[in-house]
Structure 1
Amino acid sequence: MSEEMSYTTEEIAKILKVSKLTVYDLIKKGDLRSYRVGKQMRVDASDLEAYKQRSRSNSAHVSQESPATLLPASPANPAQGTRHIVITGQDMSLDLLAKHLERRTTGIRPLRSYAGSLDSLISMYQGHSDIVSTHLLDGDTGEYNLSYIRKLLVGFSYRVVNLLSRRAGLYIHKDNPLRINDWSDLNRPGLRFINRERGSGARVLLDEQLRLHGIKTDHLIGYDTEVTNHLGVAAKVASGQADVGVGIENVATMVENIAFIPLIQERYDLVMIKKAENQAWIDKLMLVLQSEDFKQELRAISGYDLSLTGQLLYET
């Protein structure tokens, strides 16, 4: 097998028939050797084959001894002395965060995993993520994130820190020909909607607003039509395939022929598990969040409110 051939994490997931988060977990533990090309992680074909051979050998060894034997976890890339930190979430601010964290630390290599807020918290509960971002509205209280974190991370010690705040609302056609102004307008007959995937913060925001305004999901044309990011929602509205969708302000500035109706200020927070082995990089992360050079780069992106950035919001 040629050592020149390499695979992305998505390709590895398809080959092994596992989720991309599982691939990141294998990389993080050092079971699967990888390297970075720009922002993308790649795995050489020879390293993938070596991992598969080890897995077959270990499986055979376990079956001969006892079906209940558990294999010990491998140390994180002992040959390279590098620990991978998986940062899960979709906002572009997380890419900047990964860059600054890698620049300020030694022995740490941030990896990016793109998933929605609920899926990110679940991946943390399952041990697949180290830093997760979340923007989940509790419609009954108007508060963001903490009620969901408490319910999903039962039994864990964790820290919740603000990354930024941003305005969320509705994408509509430029000049707003349908005169859409509020959540209640989503109840209009014939209105074509484009939705986000289950597990995303935007989907939770929509579902909470529909509940609060007494709008049934089966009355919303396009409720079951999903895309996986804000840009995809904006593009569907801009192209005329939908009349309205939920998104954030800064993406609206990137797409022609749409307008943005701000309806809520959402808090975008980071969650990290408190363990002794995590303390060193958590301290570095706090320094990054409170540093002026990091904030300066965030200010260059329209639509971010940094008044709470780096502030500790909750700690168990």
Structure 2
Amino acid sequence: MSKEFSYTIEEVSQLLKVSKLTLYDLVKKGELPVFRVGRQMRIDANDLNTYINRQKNNQSTMAQPFEPKRETKDPFSIVISGQDMVLDILGRYIERNSPYHALRSYTGSLNSLISMYNGKMDIVSLHMFDGYTGEYNVPYVKKILVSRPYILLNLLSRRAGFYVKKGNPLNLTSWTDLRRKDIRIINREKGSGARILLDEQLRINEIPSGEIIGYDQEETNHLSVASAISTGMADIGVGIEKAAKIVGIDFIPLITERYDLVMIKNDSTELLINTVKNILSSSQFRKEIDSLGDYDTSITGEIIYETF
């Protein structure tokens, strides 16, 4: 590998046959250097070679007497997980107002929450609907972060619903329309908030997923789903309003979802939590979010749930 090249996290994941979460953990620990081009993290080929050779050397000396390793983790390098563009703005505010360096993961809500339980995420954004309670996020956090002290803060609220073709030619208006045999859906990946919302609505309305054409066809972000509708690959998808406007298709609002942030509480995260609280409560941050349109900041910064 030449030092003239660099790789995305996705490309290194494919090269090494490991998950992206494993790579984010290595970055967070300072074991794998990265640099950023805009909002994208990249890994220099020379640094990747160095890491691979170091792992080979470590394996070849495993039989040698144990020597303590010096801790290389940067305590001020944090990972923010989620896909909404507002998280990029939040990362910029965090870097401007604290010593933290913000890295981004674009993993879905459920998988990110599980990674937080395993100590691999610092700020996780959530929009997971629970059909049994009609509540967002809290039921899932209580089950997954069991025994962990945490705080759940509201980032914003936004509308979720159907992406449909311009003019809504099939007149799709409600969850029960998913029973129709003349429509093809494009789905989101398992663990994403949009997938959870769809699956919960199918359960509530007693619609078997196996009877929905296209249910197994998945995309990994809102824009890709919206684009699939725009190009005619599918008739309907589930997502947020913002992506529909970016792509130029119609949007049928069905629910207002609460988009929250969760952080683990301990001595080492106190500064981070206070930093995020101050940012969310600032009028400057809210004005910037409001200027984007399609977001509601009326309860931004409110503590939704907290354990002690």
TM band (smaller chain) = over 0.9
Residue 92 of structure 2 aligns with an amino acid whose one-letter code is K
Partner SS state of residue 32, structure 1: coil
Gapped regions of structure 2 (runs ≥ 5): none
Deviation at 1:58, TM superposition (A): 2.4
Partner residue of 1:244?
236
Partner residue of 1:43?
43
Deviation at 1:32, TM superposition (A): 1.4
Partner SS state of residue 122, structure 1: helix
Would you say 1:265 and 2:256 are equivalent positions?
A: yes
Partner residue of 2:296?
305
RMSD across aligned C-alpha pairs, in angstroms? Answer: 1.8
Aligned match of 1:185 in 177, 187, 207? Answer: 177
Matches within 5 A, 1:256-295: 256=248, 258-295=249-286
Structure 2 CA distance for partners of 1:71 and 1:12, relative to 1, 3 Å: farther
Partner residue of 1:59?
59
Residue 89 of structure 1 aligns with an amino acid whose one-letter code is G
Aligned 8 A contact 1:157 1:274 in 2: yes
Deviation at 1:12, TM superposition (A): 2.2
CA deviation vs aligned residue, 1:1-35 (integer Å, no higher than 9, x gap): 65433322222222222111211111111111222
Would you say 1:217 and 2:170 are equivalent positions?
A: no
Partner residue of 2:95?
102
Q: Where has structure 1 moved over 6 Å in runs of 4 or more?
A: none
Inter-partner Cα distance in structure 1 for 2:174 and 2:274: 42
CA deviation vs aligned residue, 1:130-152 (integer Å, no higher than 9, x gap): 10001101101110001101111
Partner SS state of residue 262, structure 1: strand
- Determine what percentage of the aligned residue pairs are the same residue: 53
Partner residue of 1:89?
82
Partner SS state of residue 171, structure 1: strand
Would you say 1:21 and 2:12 are equivalent positions?
A: no
TM-score by length of 2: 0.94
Aligned 8 A contact 1:29 1:73 in 2: no
Partner SS state of residue 77, structure 2: strand
Would you say 1:12 and 2:12 are equivalent positions?
A: yes
Gapped regions of structure 1 (runs ≥ 5): none
Inter-partner Cα distance in structure 2 for 1:266 and 1:101: 24
Structure 2 CA distance for partners of 1:44 and 1:255, relative to 1, 3 Å: closer
What number of residue pairs does the alignment pair up? 307
CA deviation vs aligned residue, 1:258-289 (integer Å, no higher than 9, x gap): 21111101000001111211111221111111
Inter-partner Cα distance in structure 1 for 2:67 and 2:105: 27
Inter-partner Cα distance in structure 1 for 2:103 and 2:173: 39
Inter-partner Cα distance in structure 2 for 1:175 and 1:40: 35
Structure 2 CA distance for partners of 1:71 and 1:205, relative to 1, 3 Å: farther
Partner residue of 2:30?
30
